[in-house]
Structure 1
């Protein structure tokens, strides 16, 4: 299955298109602003549509519907042309990283679709949707409906197939609870959910178990992304839209991130209090500009994130948005004078999706599970330490040099004194765990009594020619 979100100005025929294509009324379990319907395309591929509202007051629901969808069906009415919500929905889709779509010129029985098509092409120029296939449609007469289905079939055939083994994160865009049972729905972007799977409900951190799975109106034992899914959970407690169900240990719960703005105004001109829309979540954040296109966000609620995640910063008062890419889910504290400027210089060279080598270089030493939780693979040249830990090679050699200097200084200042306490060494070297001191030590250094580093200055290694 693939999932497309509708987009476009209010009353431009988004829901009518979905009904014409699927023969269904878009709906969700329980009360909802958006609706879902599904069908099979001419090739036999299955597609689900998330039908978002066009009302300007419903922008959060629009963003929640667009965020997990890999493509959009953009509707522009032939008799009205490009309108304010056409622009707002396009900006939101681009900011969220949507790169594919189909343009439908609706109400082609009421007015010449050519004028609206030219307007739309002008507005789409310079965006990732500039080359979107366009079809003129009338849901009243049926003209163009078959051509639209064919265009959507071609589009879904080009969309990437997500990894079925990817870590699960299901953003909940609809939820209701009846007694001890909660029913949630959302777009599963990647990974596989199975009946009886244990997931973590964020931001609460509660472990919940999947009791049943529904997809396209049918019960399933398992379902993979991309799909619209309905899950029932038992004893999950309060569940609300904007929460997320995630695979345990595969994501980083965080309330502080460094981001790059990818669309919209420079970070310095953005409001200091904004709303971050990521997935179906809408979280108030404090913004601290770092560089021209980087900022530190402090979140009012924990989100389960990976580096490279994309979202939208929105200022409801100014109706301004800026797309963001998450660069670091465990950023350093910025307390010293000049720390913000130094951090901006560091982030300036980072790509929008940092890899494991860059993240490990930044942190120096991490547990393998921490790298995985950040969405990164362990780099092949990482130094393995005691099984759980890995280190950046250059950082590890620097630590060896610093350890040699510390032990030599201790021996010179206190001849005949006991060795250095491991905790003292750990603090001086900035290591996250005492066991790493033992991994760092090499002969003649040795651990004595389980908590002291003794042996004096280590001997230099042979150069391989001796």
Structure 2
């Protein structure tokens, strides 16, 4: 069943609360002061069962100018407005301000109730109807039905309910999938249950037992129980008014303006990029003017930094960065309202383009181009913009969050862009990481330059260690993603992957002649020494190899299995090792066992070499020590 929330709007004492009670039987004035003064101060809540079977939540907001901030806390999550205008007074100041707010928040549908018709005659009613129609022309409610009603006599209530039912069926349902986001408008405690928060669920589905986070504090709690329209429920979905009983969260730690959300789904931020609209009746807005920022149920002080001008004229709009004094939870395309610091009046609003923006310098064409793309670019342009600004592979979920598009739509765009050669896709397990094709080409050039310089400095090394290269280029990119990127470079023929190193394709196949000669001389020196090899420092000194270069030669010969290090600094030629093993095995097959002394004499060497050789054969599972002897290991 569709979930819809209706919000009232209108001037103080125009009969909003009385009308809601007449429609629903619920008195939304719950405070003693409200009863005494006869006006709504705080938000009130009710529900209405419509003929179609839809149960609509109703948020009854205060109309007095002093309580506009309370009104704003209630209308942020509504789908449909019930604009209330008293027939005996007509359009009044808060009528205008409330409708301005409704338009700024992007509420596109509504019904107008012309209340208190029992207090006026037919002629006066006709005049007021004309005035209302004239006022509504050019607004989002220009085509809205205007229903004369009386909460006292019941006149017009049936027609009003029918009009609301028709309007509700035209409302697009909010997404029940995705992360939970509940702007909190009330916090209280219930004896024996603990902390309860209420609000209109903007997105997602809440279930009993879910773990949710209160932002911006970052407090985590468990959903102990739920109520929807004062009835116990196992789950609540987007569009519904919901009360959430939270376990593990103290009442004092939560307040109106906080957001209950899926852990990790939203970031808090002090800085937002936005398109800001100034109402025609407002005064010009100067750069860095102090404003009251209203988003969802939150009210935060901040400054509006105009990015392309020094002053915003009434009725105009501009790109701006909002610098807020407290962190807020926002998402792309969120609507907000701006009120002046003093006097307290609604001056405009806007749309969030980047909910966690970096600080910008003003009048920068690249900044303005980026905001234009965020605001009105095609899905492909938005993906390319994010990739163009990135200097590392980006995963589809990152791009979805950055562009405000569903992950499946981002995946489709990425696949189309890859087919057109505009992006490079790196499949990593069940994820897709993406680079702009231009960045990928620059990356190939840069890696080529890095490896070429490395090979010149270290011609005998196998290649640049992969992990060092990752730390140099993309320290924040997981190793598995970097490995996939290297494989893509290898498939393109730029590099070769050699174990834990990466080299330019073809590197090392041909060494400089002088280097080849020295390597051959070192190999010959150890081959000729057979079973009494020199220490490495001695060998390098014989061939006049500088100490700072000797290690490179040794690493090369060991890596290519020309030489083998068997114990500490003891190095043998690989052919000499095979020869020694063949001699020892042949004797063991004849006589069954052999001692260190016998090996020493057989190989015409010393115990210094004979014992390490036998221990090496033990390690290689050729022989096995039994007492002071070795025997052939049976396989």
TM-score (ref. length: structure 1): 0.87
Partner residue of 1:325 out of 351, 354, 357:
351
SS where residue 178 of structure 2 aligns?
Answer: coil
Once the two structures are TM-superposed, the CA of residue 349 in structure 1 deviates from its matched residue by 4.1
Q: Deviations over 1:197-223 (max 9, x none)?
A: 111111111221111111122111112
SS where residue 166 of structure 1 aligns?
Answer: coil
Aligned partners of 2:472 and 2:134: how far apart in 1? 60
Aligned CA distance change for structure 1 residues 142 and 434 (closer, same or farther; 3 Å): closer
Where does 1:11-410 land on structure 2 (aligned, <5 Å)?
Answer: 11-26=13-28, 33-111=42-120, 112-177=124-189, 181-237=194-250, 238-262=253-277, 264=279, 269=286, 272-291=289-308, 293-318=318-343, 319-334=345-360, 340-351=364-375, 355=379, 358-359=382-383, 361-363=385-387, 364=390, 365-374=393-402, 375-378=404-407, 379=410, 380-382=412-414, 383-387=425-429, 390-392=432-434, 395=436, 397-410=437-450
Aligned CA distance change for structure 1 residues 434 and 420 (closer, same or farther; 3 Å): farther
Query: What corresponds to 1:464 in structure 2?
Result: none
Aligned CA distance change for structure 1 residues 429 and 194 (closer, same or farther; 3 Å): same
Query: What corresponds to 2:477 in structure 1?
Result: 433
Aligned partners of 1:166 and 1:433: how far apart in 2? 26
TM-score (ref. length: structure 2): 0.65
Aligned partners of 2:471 and 2:354: how far apart in 1? 24
Contiguous gaps of at least 5 residues in structure 2:
34-40, 309-316, 415-424, 508-635
Aligned CA distance change for structure 1 residues 332 and 316 (closer, same or farther; 3 Å): closer
Q: Deviations over 1:404-445 (max 9, x none)?
A: 322343455565225567688668867852645443331242
Say which structure is richer in strand: 1
Say which structure is richer in helix: 2
Aligned partners of 2:136 and 2:128: how far apart in 1? 12
SS where residue 196 of structure 1 aligns?
Answer: coil
Query: What corresponds to 2:602 in structure 1?
Result: none
Aligned CA distance change for structure 1 residues 122 and 431 (closer, same or farther; 3 Å): farther
SS where residue 88 of structure 2 aligns?
Answer: coil
SS where residue 164 of structure 2 aligns?
Answer: helix
Once the two structures are TM-superposed, the CA of residue 101 in structure 1 deviates from its matched residue by 0.6
Aligned partners of 2:237 and 2:478: how far apart in 1? 41
Contact 1:266 1:293 in 2 (8 A): no
With 345-354 and 35-44 compared, the bigger mean Cα shift is at 345-354
Give the RMSD, CA atoms, in angstroms: 3.1
With 171-180 and 62-71 compared, the bigger mean Cα shift is at 171-180
Q: Deviations over 1:331-384 (max 9, x none)?
A: 34436xx67443013323443698586156324443344345454223224224
Aligned partners of 1:46 and 1:186: how far apart in 2? 16
Once the two structures are TM-superposed, the CA of residue 6 in structure 1 deviates from its matched residue by 0.5
Q: Deviations over 1:202-246 (max 9, x none)?
A: 111122111111112211111223211111112213111111111
Aligned CA distance change for structure 1 residues 139 and 407 (closer, same or farther; 3 Å): closer
Once the two structures are TM-superposed, the CA of residue 104 in structure 1 deviates from its matched residue by 0.7
Contact 2:451 2:504 in 1 (8 A): no
Q: Deviations over 1:28-62 (max 9, x none)?
A: 79997111111212333212211100111111111
SS where residue 293 of structure 1 aligns?
Answer: strand
SS where residue 97 of structure 1 aligns?
Answer: coil
SS where residue 456 of structure 2 aligns?
Answer: coil
Aligned partners of 1:272 and 1:244: how far apart in 2? 27
Contact 2:373 2:382 in 1 (8 A): no
Bigger relative CO (Cα 8 Å, ≥ 6 apart): 1
SS where residue 126 of structure 1 aligns?
Answer: coil
Once the two structures are TM-superposed, the CA of residue 447 in structure 1 deviates from its matched residue by 5.6
With 379-388 and 324-333 compared, the bigger mean Cα shift is at 379-388
Aligned CA distance change for structure 1 residues 406 and 352 (closer, same or farther; 3 Å): closer
Aligned partners of 1:284 and 1:103: how far apart in 2? 33
Contact 1:366 1:389 in 2 (8 A): no
Aligned CA distance change for structure 1 residues 333 and 34 (closer, same or farther; 3 Å): closer
Query: What corresponds to 1:454 in structure 2?
Result: 503
Contact 1:254 1:304 in 2 (8 A): yes
SS where residue 255 of structure 2 aligns?
Answer: coil
Q: Deviations over 1:228-274 (max 9, x none)?
A: 11111122131111111112233333332211124537996465322
Higher radius of gyration, 1 or 2: 2
Contact 1:74 1:103 in 2 (8 A): yes
Once the two structures are TM-superposed, the CA of residue 325 in structure 1 deviates from its matched residue by 1.1
Aligned partners of 1:371 and 1:224: how far apart in 2? 26
Aligned partners of 2:484 and 2:326: how far apart in 1? 37
SS where residue 271 of structure 2 aligns?
Answer: strand
Aligned CA distance change for structure 1 residues 354 and 192 (closer, same or farther; 3 Å): farther
